[in-house]
Amino acid sequence: MDFSSIPPIWLTPATSPEGVSFLPPPVPRAAHAVACVLHVDSSTPLVIEVEDSAGHVLERIPTNADGLAGLALPREAARLTLRGAGTARLGHYPLGHLALLARALRHGGFGRAPLARLKAAKRAARLLRRHLKQVLYTSSAGPLMGLPDYRRFRARHVGDFTEVPAGAAAPRVTFITSAAGVTPRALEACAKALAAQTDPTFRWIVAVAEGDSAGAASLAPLHERTTLLAMPDADAASSPAMGLAAALDAAGETDLVVPLDAAGQPTRDAVALIRDAFARHPDCALLYTDEEYLYPDGQPRDGAFKPAFNRHLLEAMPYMGALVALRGARARRLGLRPALGGAAVHDMLLRYVDDLGTDASAVIRHLPRIAYSSVRAGPGLPDAATARLAAAALSERRGVPVDIDPERHHLRPRYGVPEGSTERPAPPTTAPLVSIVIPTRDRAELLARTLRTLMAVTAYRAFEIIIVDNGSQEAATFALFEETRAQWPATRILRDAGDFNFSRLCNAGIAAASGALVLLLNNDMEIVQPGWLDEMVALALREPTGIVGAKLLYPDRSVQHAGFIVALRSGAGSHWFAHAPANAPGYQDRLVVRQNLSAVTGACLLIRRDCLDAIGPLDAEAFAEECNDIDLCLRARRAGWEVVFTPFARMIHHESASRGQDSRTGTSPRRTAERAAFAAKWATATRTDPHLGPNFLRNNEYALRAPSPQGSRAPRTDAID
């Protein structure tokens, strides 16, 4: 988008020992932070560092292809430094419509005729404001933009559970805590929060240093339900993990054990919520809740709303958060490993889930209600040292190297990667054949880019190409077919001259495929990563994975597909975070890690042959053009297969961008009818995608918080019924 018609407000240069620095826009003293969109006037993409007065970097923000960067500018910000810049300017945009319109009229070039000038300025301001909001929604300012709605949600829907299960309806809750590193003030606040519980069926085991009278005094509000474990050894007393392990050993086998960080506080209904969930679902083996992030002064910052059980997300980060209830017998048998320090609980949860085996997805429940609050401000591991411990433990358990995101401390197991390789995922020892099915009709210039980059760039070589030609007539297309067969002998051309039916064309290619894995690939792709197919194959080979999807980018390198959320917006659903910057973290960092989802796009979809045999091919009768890929994914999910999205397989999707919109927005009668058929089959009007949740707006793809729940808040699994 061209922003030259409305220039930003240019910032004042500031003295800096390194880089090019500027004084930031002012932040009101009463605010913790303000939403801000910066514009970098530079010929190359740069990184903006937000620094405080001592020079500490508060945030690093890569600029977009259009030079824009959104952020929540904290009041501690003293300067903004551009790294890698020779000469550059930095500005910011006002966010209000009237302020943008005034700037457009004052500084924009819209001609001299008053009415025409006003009309053009209004349109430019409206389009720019829409884009600025999009930039903010996909940046660290996203929670800040949603804070007014979250505050309304909080006032009405946090601490609002009024039922109290009977004593015999569910086991007692045992909170286990280490007081190491927790201030007496925080310990006392946590004790008061527990004393205020609506359900008294709990106890609290707290490991404290022997002779710690201040710690013991802090627990006075809950003296009758508190068990103090004196840690005589000085090293043990100072180790939160050792204290927590001792508290776990003291818990009852029939209890529901909840590791509790006393730096935060459970809501008044936390015990009732946990026990009610286990009373309603006696088979439940693990329950986790939503939580709330606070500013240091106790003011609400954001709600952390989580997906239902998500196997791959748990490997990447401890997404289940601060309040997780476990069956005492299993937790005690598995135990905590104190040597892992701050990663010990995450390690125990991974081992606990593995111990549940194939039943895990059926007996792990997410309770989409806030039951805990703390000043924690993100879902990941807290620091690099903890991430290294977590990575070592996961590597030992999975038998593969584990990479660490240096910025966000997320984990990435390198499935199928030989020891010592850091360049790219390598194929498994016995590389299964992948049958790549590409439906097409003429448009040789599009297909040529797909085929040539597929053959030239892809490192994984165990694939065959099956082109399903739907009545091409142009000589250039047939010449391309011959060129491809000459370069890649494992190429077949199937002819289908019937009316366009995407599902039928794909099914013809699937029927002719020889591979144990089938990749559906659009004819308008550009392969840009050597290891993209290695990554997808490695994930597909991990049962119970049935389908793997990739991250697709528009030619401007913004996001086209990073997962599909069912029942979002209207019809089948929507790609979430469309048009976000390629490396935008998304909500709770979920765009930059592997994760389970309900569906991924068929533009690049890898499916196992045994999954296809179990669920059948695309539905060519009901969904000739629309929703066929999403229907396929949901049928796989309903049959017990997992759908996995990976951001580590990227490619460029050209044709959707050339149309300027996603193909699902077409308005032909057939497409409209197919959307309606999908909505009826999968009840999208009332369905909440298990990998999003009921506490988000359904009419927005940027995970904006809703002022009130948009669906049931009952405990849920990841099942698709």
Residue 221 lies in a domain: yes
Residue 719 lies in a domain: no
Distances (CA, A) of 422 to 427, 433, 528, 534, 651: 13, 24, 18, 13, 20
Residue whose entry in the numeric block shows the structure tokens 């500031």: 14
DSSP labels, 611-678: HHHHH-S--TTT-SSSSHHHHHHHHHHHTT-EEEEEEEEEEEEHHHHHHTS-GGG---HHHHHHHHHH
Contact 93, 1 (CB under 8 A): no
Distances (CA, A) of 618 to 194, 509, 608: 53, 11, 14
Per-residue pLDDT, 83 = 80
Q: Is the pTM of this model over 0.85?
A: yes
d(C-alpha 522, C-alpha 519), whole Å? 10
Q: Are residues 360 and 391 in the same domain?
A: no
Beta strands 202-209; 68-74: pairing state: unpaired
523-544 pLDDT, tens per residue?
999 999 999 999 999 999 999 9
Per-residue pLDDT, 3 = 62
Give the phi and the psi of residue 456 in degrees, each rounded to 5. Answer: -85, -35
Picking from 361, 380, 399, the residue at the C-terminal end of a domain is 380
Contact 48, 89 (CB under 8 A): no
Region for residue 449 given its phi and psi (left: phi exceeds 0; alpha: psi -120 to 50; beta: otherwise): alpha
Q: Are residues 284 and 337 in the same domain?
A: yes
Residue 396 lies in a domain: yes
Contact 560, 657 (CB under 8 A): yes
Residue 538, both tokens: 């490695």
For residue 134, the Cα-to-chain-centroid distance in whole angstroms is: 17
Per-residue pLDDT, 659 = 37
Q: Are residues 345 and 393 in the same domain?
A: no
Residue whose entry in the numeric block shows the structure tokens 């797909």: 450
Residue 328, both tokens: 């005492």
Contact 113, 100 (CB under 8 A): no
Q: Are residues 321 and 269 in the same domain?
A: yes
All residue ranges of the chain with pLDDT < 70 are 1-4, 15-18, 64-66, 85-86, 214-215, 236-237, 417-429, 656-667
d(C-alpha 258, C-alpha 286), whole Å? 10
User: Helix axis angle, 628-638 relative to 502-512, nearest 10°?
Assistant: 60
Distances (CA, A) of 10 to 68, 95, 207, 553: 13, 15, 55, 31
Beta strands 434-440; 89-92: pairing state: unpaired
Residue 636 lies in a domain: yes
d(C-alpha 629, C-alpha 637), whole Å? 12
**For 571, which DSSP code?**
T
Distances (CA, A) of 572 to 258, 548, 681, 695: 38, 19, 10, 19
d(C-alpha 442, C-alpha 198), whole Å? 68
Per-residue pLDDT, 20 = 84
Residue range(s) defining the domain that contains residue 404: 381-414
- The closest alpha carbon to 284, from 371, 361, 201, belongs to 361
Residue 331 lies in a domain: yes
Distances (CA, A) of 583 to 1, 397, 403, 444: 19, 29, 17, 31
d(C-alpha 54, C-alpha 78), whole Å? 9
Q: Are residues 351 and 275 in the same domain?
A: yes
Residue 612 lies in a domain: yes
- The closest alpha carbon to 347, from 357, 332, 336, belongs to 336
Picking from 356, 380, 404, the residue at the C-terminal end of a domain is 380
Q: Are residues 395 and 460 in the same domain?
A: no
Q: Are residues 323 and 268 in the same domain?
A: yes
Residue 474, both tokens: 């142009």
CATH number of the domain at 358, please. Answer: 3.90.550.10
Residue whose entry in the numeric block shows the structure tokens 């919520």: 273
Contacts 24+ apart (CB under 8 A), 480-489: 480/444, 480/447, 480/448, 480/451, 484/451, 484/455, 487/455, 488/455
Residue 687 lies in a domain: no
Q: Are residues 176 and 214 in the same domain?
A: yes
Residue 699 lies in a domain: no
Residues 6+ apart with CB under 8 A from 519: 434, 435, 436, 437, 463, 533, 536, 604, 605, 606, 607
Cis peptide before 489 (omega within 30 of 0): no
Tally of domains in the chain: 4
d(C-alpha 382, C-alpha 239), whole Å? 16
Contact 351, 274 (CB under 8 A): no
Distances (CA, A) of 236 to 217, 232, 240, 696: 20, 8, 8, 43
Q: Are residues 445 and 313 in the same domain?
A: no
d(C-alpha 690, C-alpha 308), whole Å? 5
Per-residue pLDDT, 4 = 66
Q: Give the count of alpha carbons within 13 A of 468, CB side only.
A: 24
Q: Are residues 376 and 404 in the same domain?
A: no
Q: Are residues 396 and 373 in the same domain?
A: no
d(C-alpha 83, C-alpha 550), whole Å? 31
Element (H, E) at 333: helix 328-334
d(C-alpha 336, C-alpha 710), whole Å? 38
Q: Are residues 337 and 394 in the same domain?
A: no
Burial 261-292 (b: 16+ CB within 10 A, else e): bbbbbbbbbbbbbbbbbbbebeebbbbbbbbb
